[in-house]
């Protein structure tokens, strides 16, 4: 699983955990130097807002997994087995029908599909994210972080999250993406996926 997939999957697990004010305060203190604002420090009242703040300051993200592990170790009472499974997953292939192919086999097709969706999804982005299975808290975080500053990046992260979840199964990636587009009332984009992949 790619780092971006590992990162967002672990974040989703953390955000579903029972809130713990004492552990949240401990985490805030651990990252107080990175937060670098007393006003912002005092406004952080949930794990979601802490993660969003640290992402905005570029000290947390797929390329800063060490800081995510600090949050995991301090916030989770015990290391969740599902987190362990995510951390130790390392499969860089895609299964098309019964044949295992390298990621590069459909990278250009996937990029065309992503660009098409990014350009045309518009206000249906949230319904798409929900249909793909992103948690409500994760969607709220992405909206807060990117919607008014960089909506294209927000949608790309949603699509990359979905792609990382199904990095070992091409057919599942495709079918769930098309099903989500239909649920978001964008059957036209689902048909575009068929057009792009017609010869793949």
What is the structure's pLDDT at 100? 38
* pLDDT by position in tens, the chain (length 200): 566 677 878 888 888 888 889 999 999 999 999 898 899 999 999 998 898 888 888 888 877 888 888 898 888 765 567 777 777 765 443 333 333 344 555 678 888 999 999 999 998 999 999 999 888 888 888 888 887 788 898 999 999 888 888 777 777 888 889 989 999 999 999 999 888 887 65
Q: What is the sign, positive or negative, of the torsion defined by CA atoms of 12, 20, 27, 42? A: positive
CA gap 72, 79 in Å, rounded: 7
Angle at 161 between CA 123 and CA 185, to 5 degrees: 30
The residue written with tokens 């640290």 in the block is 54
The residue written with tokens 């689902």 in the block is 190
What is the structure's pLDDT at 77? 60
What is the structure's pLDDT at 106? 66
DSSP string, 64-129: -HHHHHHHHHHHSSS--HHHHHHHH----EEEETTEEEEGGGTHHHHHHHHHHHHHH-GGGHHHHH
Helix (H, G, I), strand (E, B) or coil at 131: helix
Helix (H, G, I), strand (E, B) or coil at 190: helix
Tell me, rounded to whole angstroms, the distance of Cα 130 from its chain centroid. Answer: 12
What is the structure's pLDDT at 85? 77
What is the structure's pLDDT at 75? 84
CA gap 112, 89 in Å, rounded: 27
What is the structure's pLDDT at 127? 93
What is the structure's pLDDT at 101? 40
State pTM to two decimals.
0.54
């Amino acid at each position: 699983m790619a780092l971006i997939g590992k990162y967002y999957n672990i974040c989703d697990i953390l955000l579903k955990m029972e809130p713990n004010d004492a552990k949240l305060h401990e985490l805030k203190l651990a990252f107080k130097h990175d937060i670098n604002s007393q006003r912002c420090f005092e406004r952080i009242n949930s794990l979601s807002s802490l993660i969003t703040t640290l992402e905005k300051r570029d000290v947390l993200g797929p390329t800063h997994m060490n800081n995510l592990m600090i949050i995991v170790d301090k916030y989770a009472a015990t290391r969740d087995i599902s987190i362990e499974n995510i951390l130790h997953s390392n499969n860089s292939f895609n299964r098309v029908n019964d044949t295992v192919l390298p990621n590069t086999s459909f990278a250009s097709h996937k990029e065309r599909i992503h660009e098409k969706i990014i350009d045309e999804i518009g206000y249906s982005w949230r319904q798409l994210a929900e249909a793909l299975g992103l948690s409500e808290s994760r969607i709220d975080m992405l909206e807060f972080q990117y919607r008014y500053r960089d909506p294209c990046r927000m949608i790309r992260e949603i699509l990359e999250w979905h792609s990382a979840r199904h990095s070992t199964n091409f057919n599942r990636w495709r079918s769930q993406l098309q099903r989500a587009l239909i649920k978001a009332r964008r059957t036209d984009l689902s048909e575009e996926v068929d057009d792009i992949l017609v010869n793949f």
